[in-house]
Amino acid sequence: MARYALKIEYDGGPFAGWQRQDNLPTVQGAVERALSRLERDVPSIGAAGRTDAGVHGLGQVAHCDMAKDWDPFRLSEALNHHLKPDPVAIVDCVRVEDDFHARFSAVERQYIFRLVTRRAPMTHERGKVWQVMHDLDVEAMRAGAAHLIGLHDFTTFRASMCQAKSPVKTVDEITITALNTPHGREYQFYIRARSFLHNQVRSFVGTLERVGAGAWEPVQVKQALEACDRAACGPVCPPQGLYLAGVGYPTDPFVR
């Protein structure tokens, strides 16, 4: 068997998340169907992260094992052909060592959340951003976000159905950028960590939006974190503005 790493981009809107589910459209299911058109009995693929329904991928990474020794470029081209018309694309493909694992070899995940403020309904960006109708104070949100960086017990920002063994995680970076765009004032939240709890990013952004709107003081983010109580979290924002932007490895397999 030959192992390949795939960098995958997808629109999460039509899917019930990444992970394969019976009788529901998923990104994993779409990729595995495309693989089955190339070879019979292809083993299940592994991915760096299991994104939820409606969450998008810019740099999801998965690995697959193929019986044939494929040229990576031809493999990606063949997969993209068979992925049509699903909004999924293999943007890069490389041959990797047999011990490479998209999930367990990863040392970092990067997420971007896009939030747009404007009154008019979204048209071109509908389903790709979270829209709120009021202005936000970016400096206040940055002050609130500073309390979330580092090693903490993130019970407050963890979904009740989260299956992680421990709520203790290290968040390495939260950068909030404000941009004037043709579709409105856009705020991008770039969040980087080795791993995340279920709904952690959406819980962060939903809470920070309350800070930006003036409903919370920045120090209340610290108080919510220290409460270690899910009830202390702000509203969990919707999934459509969330993107798995990239995955880090000790050696980037996609750098030639």
Which CATH number does the domain housing residue 23 bear? 3.30.70.580
Q: What domain count does the chain have?
A: 2
Placement of tokens 């709107």 in the chain: 213
Spell out the alpha helix ranges (H) of 128-254: 138-145, 200-212, 218-227
Q: How many CB atoms lie within 10 A of CB 219?
A: 12
Residues 119, 94, single domain; the answer is no
Active site residue 92: no
Q: Is the pTM of this model over 0.75?
A: yes
In this structure, are residues 12 and 127 in contact, taking their beta carbons and an 8 Å threshold? no
Contacts of 105 (CB under 8 A, 6+ apart): 99, 249, 250
Which one from 41, 52, 86, 252 is the annotated catalytic residue? 52
Same structural domain, 67 and 49: yes
212, 134 Cβ separation under 8 angstroms: no
The string of pLDDT tens digits covering residues 203-251 is: 999 999 999 999 999 999 999 999 999 999 999 999 999 999 999 999 9
Q: Are residues 180 and 242 in the same domain?
A: yes
pLDDT tens digits for range 23-32: 999 999 999 9
Are residues 207 and 119 located together in one domain of the fold?
Answer: yes
Of 105, 129, 147, the residue at which a domain comes to its end is 105
Per-residue pLDDT tens digits for 156-199? 999 988 889 999 999 999 999 999 999 999 999 999 999 999 99
22 within domain boundaries: yes
- Kindly state whether residue 255 falls inside one of the protein's structural domains: no
Q: Give the residue numbers spanning the domain of 85.
A: 2-105
Q: Residue 209 corresponds to which tokens in the numbers above?
A: 């939006």
Instruction: Retrieve residue 106's tokens.
Output: 């990863």
